[in-house]
Amino acid sequence: MSKVKTSVQSKILTALMTGESFTTKQLARKARTDTVNVARRVHDLRSAGHMVYANPISGKRGVSYRIGTPTKAVVAAGISAMRGA
């Protein structure tokens, strides 16, 4: 019986869906990949419609990722962008 391999993107999404914030290094450890790949997969998640926020870490060079609910202003901006397209 073969073991089903979980993609890096789904591992990152599963971690973020817990509601916690994770640094790039923490997500790389969870997904067993490098930090550059984490940034690419987060971009893919955003393109797929997930609201992944990147908050700068104070005093350090880096970001903390989390999934959240979009504000009314973000939804309104998206709607107006779709109307203009």
**pTM over cut 0.85:** no
Helix 35-47 vs helix 24-31: crossing angle, to nearest 10: 90
Question: Does residue 2 fall inside a structural domain?
Answer: no
Q: What is the CATH number for 74?
A: 1.10.10.10
Question: Does residue 3 fall inside a structural domain?
Answer: no
Question: Does residue 32 fall inside a structural domain?
Answer: yes
Question: Does residue 23 fall inside a structural domain?
Answer: yes
The pLDDT tens digits for 18-65 are: 999 999 999 999 999 988 899 999 999 999 989 999 999 888 788 999
Domain residues for the domain of 48 are 8-84
**Structurally, how many domains does the chain consist of?**
1
Q: b/e map of 66-77 (b: 16 or more CB within 10 Å)? A: bbeeeeeeeeee
Whether residue 42 contacts residue 56, with contact meaning beta carbons closer than 8 Å, is answered with no
Question: Does residue 29 fall inside a structural domain?
Answer: yes
Question: Does residue 1 fall inside a structural domain?
Answer: no
Could you give the CA distance from residue 78 to residue 26 in angstroms, rounded to a whole number? 30
